[in-house]
Structure 1
Amino acid sequence: MKRAQANGLLLVAALIWGTAFVAQQTGMRDVGPFTFTGARFLFGAVMVAPLAVLELRRLGRRGTFLDARDLLACALLGAVLFLGAALQQIGIMSTTVSNAGFLTALYVPLVPIAGALLLRERSHWSVWPASLGCVAGTYLLGGGSLAALSVGDLWVIASALFWAAHVMLVGRVAARKGASVTVAMLQFLVVGGLGMAVGFGTEEVSSGALERALPSIAYAGILSVGVGFTLQVVAQRHTPAADAAIVLSCETLFAALAGRFVLGETLTAEQMAGGLLIFACVLAVQILPLWRERRTVSVEAG
């Protein structure tokens, strides 16, 4: 696969993920946030299952198998992912798709900050000004006052903490046995099971409501979780990480565009400036460290 083709697949993934915010909002006209989250991730698990089976067979031929410790790690990883997805879903009920897309992206600078503060990992200098920029962008998204942020905005910001924790943990869990697709499927099953359990226990669920919400659930589950994840895994084998970072970050802009053209949402000039500031900071945190590494390699090669 050529680099341009791989970047095209990543752009499709970003488009799916960005527009899935619309499905996440419209689907809750008929079902609650926990039921929607559970059903969505169960759809995703089914989509990824065939790839996981192939991966397990390949690992088995090498004598590598998952043990109880691996399964426990996947369960804990799924619990963290469930909290991130559920809090985001609750937030989407009372905020705009545009705000949800931009605020969810706050997890990107949170990852290196948490690594530096909790794990004593060295972070690129760009993390700190980018973090301040994200705070300023959030301030602008709130209309010039953090106090003016909606309850939904606050739920989405809280979800970003768990998205960041998930990003920090998922690589470590997947690297244990090299079973990244299987880890993804198992964590999707955990999220799906927890979501449906909490949903049936706390929300009114009927077969008619699930049927009406099915198109939104299918889009968010089959396309966003299943297809989007698969495209990312395939494409990132054929394109540099810097390219992937740029293209996948377009998810936030696609969310804003989808909110505008599908749901008729509008942003003030101040809110748009805040969203674009967050987007710029997210790009900076991902690209600047890679750019520095590429320069270092070029100098050493020369």
Structure 2
Amino acid sequence: MKSTRLIPSISKAEAVLILITMIWGGTFLLVQHALSYSGPLFFVGLRFAAAASIVALFSLHILRDLTLLELKAGVFIGTSIMLGYGLQTIGLQSIPSSQSAFITALYVPFVPLLQWLVLGRRPGLMPSVGIALAFAGLMLLSGPNGASLNFSPGEIATLISAIAIAAEIILIGAYAGKVDVRRVTVVQLATASVLSFLLVVPTGEPLPDFSWMLIISAVGLGAASAAIQLAINWAQQTVSPTRATVIYAGEPVWAGIVGRMAGERLPLVALLGAVLIVAGVIVSELKGRKKVEISEEAEQRKTD
């Protein structure tokens, strides 16, 4: 009788995603502070301009080999990044952060849902259970006020941002292994920056006064964005979008830890949410050993 593997194995790529999710969650307080010096779209544009410049600086010798596929992939992913970061930041100006966290959390079930509706890829049982646990945890982390939607402009903007984040994850997975990671990262970061700057004028967002704190924040967060996007593009060559999504669901856990270090205290219900998210990550990794062996035998028959 074959036993079930209870201890999930974590690959190098998955470990990298966990690390960058920790960094990702830790940027929340910095973004919130930077918005006191600039409007959301201008700051997003400045942040990703810095990120694109940093990656390009270390990729000059390979950028000349940019292909049409890489250009297309970078533009599509960059557009999703701009919508995700830009709309979420706009929403935070008019709705509480706990409610924003709840709405943004919808990207967790949106990934397998979009994969099913658009690509026809139905998620397996264990990833589905893991996603459900992670989503339930995110709702608890958001607090009791996050469970009510009135479809105000801020809520609608944040809801669209969740769809954009899900689309970004799927697009990265779709192009993984077909493009050069550094070249496509430069294009997607530059696209996100240019589109954000272009939207400043039609939205009527006022230009900020010069501030060294704004520049330092943009460059620092730009460096973090560069590292995050490079890591995601590299890791999702071997990590499925569904599994990556559950790992990304740990972002608010790390944000909560950083907030606690800054003086905030998570209530008991939020701590329970953090436990559910970790459980979701573990459950999504569980596989029956028999199923694995059958899959390996099938692959072996294909090569024979």
TM range, normalised to the smaller chain?
0.7 to 0.9
Deviation string 1:191-212 (CA, Å, 9 cap, x unpaired) is 101112222552121342x433
Question: Which of 48, 52, 56 is equivalent to 1:41?
Answer: 48
1:188 aligns with 2:184: no
Displacement of 1:74 after TM fit? Answer: 2.9
1:85 aligns with 2:121: no
Alignment size in residue pairs: 285
Determine the structure 2 residue equivalent to 1:258: 258
CA distance in 2, matches of 1:145, 1:252: 14
Determine the structure 1 residue equivalent to 2:32: 25
Q: In the alignment, is the contact (CA less than 8 A) between 2:13 and 2:239 conserved in 1?
A: no
Displacement of 1:171 after TM fit? Answer: 3.0
In structure 2, give the amino acid aligned to 1:42.
A
Determine the structure 2 residue equivalent to 1:159: 161
Q: In the alignment, is the contact (CA less than 8 A) between 1:22 and 1:259 conserved in 2?
A: yes
Determine the structure 2 residue equivalent to 1:120: 120
Determine the structure 1 residue equivalent to 2:273: 274
Distance 1:195 1:136, change over 3 A: same
Displacement of 1:227 after TM fit? Answer: 2.6
Q: In the alignment, is the contact (CA less than 8 A) between 2:169 and 2:245 conserved in 1?
A: no
Q: Which sits farther off after the overlay, 211-220 or 35-44?
A: 211-220
CA distance in 2, matches of 1:169, 1:280: 26
- SS in structure 2 at match of 1:30: coil
Structure 1: runs of 5 or more not aligned: none
Tell me how large the CA RMSD over aligned residues is.
4.1
Q: In the alignment, is the contact (CA less than 8 A) between 2:102 and 2:146 conserved in 1?
A: no
TM-score (norm 2): 0.73
Q: Which sits farther off after the overlay, 128-137 or 185-194?
A: 128-137
Question: Which of 208, 217, 223 is equivalent to 1:206?
Answer: 208
Determine the structure 2 residue equivalent to 1:228: 228
- SS in structure 1 at match of 2:109: helix
Question: Which of 292, 297, 302 is equivalent to 1:296?
Answer: 292
CA distance in 2, matches of 1:130, 1:243: 9
Q: In the alignment, is the contact (CA less than 8 A) between 1:33 and 1:89 conserved in 2?
A: yes
In structure 2, give the amino acid aligned to 1:164.
A
- Determine what percentage of the aligned residue pairs are the same residue: 27
Deviation string 1:170-222 (CA, Å, 9 cap, x unpaired) is 2334544x2222112111111101112222552121342x4332232222211
Distance 1:272 1:10, change over 3 A: same
Determine the structure 1 residue equivalent to 2:109: 109
CA distance in 2, matches of 1:71, 1:77: 10
Structure 2: runs of 5 or more not aligned: 1-9, 298-304
CA distance in 2, matches of 1:97, 1:107: 16
Deviation string 1:203-255 (CA, Å, 9 cap, x unpaired) is 121342x43322322222112x1133345567x49x98899888765433211
Distance 1:255 1:94, change over 3 A: farther
In structure 1, give the amino acid aligned to 2:37.
D
In structure 2, give the amino acid aligned to 1:259.
G
| Structure having the larger proportion of residues in helix | 1
Q: In the alignment, is the contact (CA less than 8 A) between 1:107 and 1:161 conserved in 2?
A: yes
Q: In the alignment, is the contact (CA less than 8 A) between 1:47 and 1:226 conserved in 2?
A: yes
CA distance in 2, matches of 1:135, 1:12: 20
Distance 1:115 1:292, change over 3 A: farther
In structure 2, give the amino acid aligned to 1:191.
A
Q: In the alignment, is the contact (CA less than 8 A) between 1:14 and 1:248 conserved in 2?
A: yes
Question: Which of 10, 20, 32 is equivalent to 1:13?
Answer: 20
Distance 1:11 1:53, change over 3 A: same
Displacement of 1:296 after TM fit? Answer: 0.9
